[in-house]
Amino acid sequence: MSKLYFTEDHEWLNVDGDTAIVGISTYAAGQLGDVVFIELPDTSKTVAKGDDIAVVESVKSASEIYAPVSGTITAANDALEDAPETVNDDAQGAGWFFKMTITDTSQLEGLMDEAAYAEFTKE
């Protein structure tokens, strides 16, 4: 059974065991506006929590995406290269960014669940 987590940087992680699918939240996609380009991390890259590993460019600006936890990138959503607008259409589904294996699942403990994230983005 997978579980959904959110970070304060507006990323979501769909975690199943020690693997996670990562993207940006529907809320974040709405705030960014029309996404026109995404720079995805190289697969098999090892990342530490907090590293900047991807970039989302909207019409207005560029935003860094940080590694939500430490681990190794196992896949990137190449479909976003030709269809970056997928992030606006389906941020928490088809608009996923990358998959990773998590080095230390205890790093998930500080993250928010869906209800806490909804509260976090309320104001």
Partner 1 sequence: MGNEGLKRTPLASLMEELGGKMVPFAGYAMPVQFVDGVLKEHKWTRENCGLFDVSHMGQAFVVGPDHETTARALEALMPGNFVGLKPGQQRYSLLLTDEGGIMDDLMVTRSIHPHFEGWLMIVVNAAFKTEDFAQIAARLPDGVRLQPEPNRALIALQGPKAAQVLEPLCADSCDMVFMQSAATAIGGIDCHISRSGYTGEDGFEISVKAEMAEDLARLLLKSKLVKPIGLGARDSLRLEAGLCLSGYDFDESRTPVDASLTWAIPKVRHEQADFPGAARILRELSEGTVQKRVGIKPLGRAPARDGTHIHLDGVYVGEITSGGFGPSFGGPIAMGYVRADLATPGTALDLIVRGKAHPAEVFKLPFVPQNYYRG
Residue 83 sits in the site that holds partner 1 (CB under 8 A):
no
User: How far apart are the C-alpha atoms of 47 and 3, rounded to whole Å?
Assistant: 21
Compare residues 5 and 98 and give the one whose CB is closer to partner 1.
98
Residue 118 sits in the site that holds partner 1 (CB under 8 A):
no
Minimum gap (Å) between residue 4 Cβ and partner 1? 26
Among 9, 51, 57, 90, binds partner 1 (CB under 8 A): 57
Structure-token match 């790093």, residue found: 107
Q: What is the enclosing helix (H) or strand (E) of 32?
A: helix 26-32
User: How far apart are the C-alpha atoms of 50 and 61, rounded to whole Å?
Assistant: 20
Among 17, 46, 59, 101, binds partner 1 (CB under 8 A): 59
Residue 84 near residue 52 (C-beta atoms within 8 A): no
Token couple for 83: 């269809």
Contacts with partner 1, residue ranges (CB under 8 A)? 33-34, 36-37, 39, 55, 57-62, 81, 84
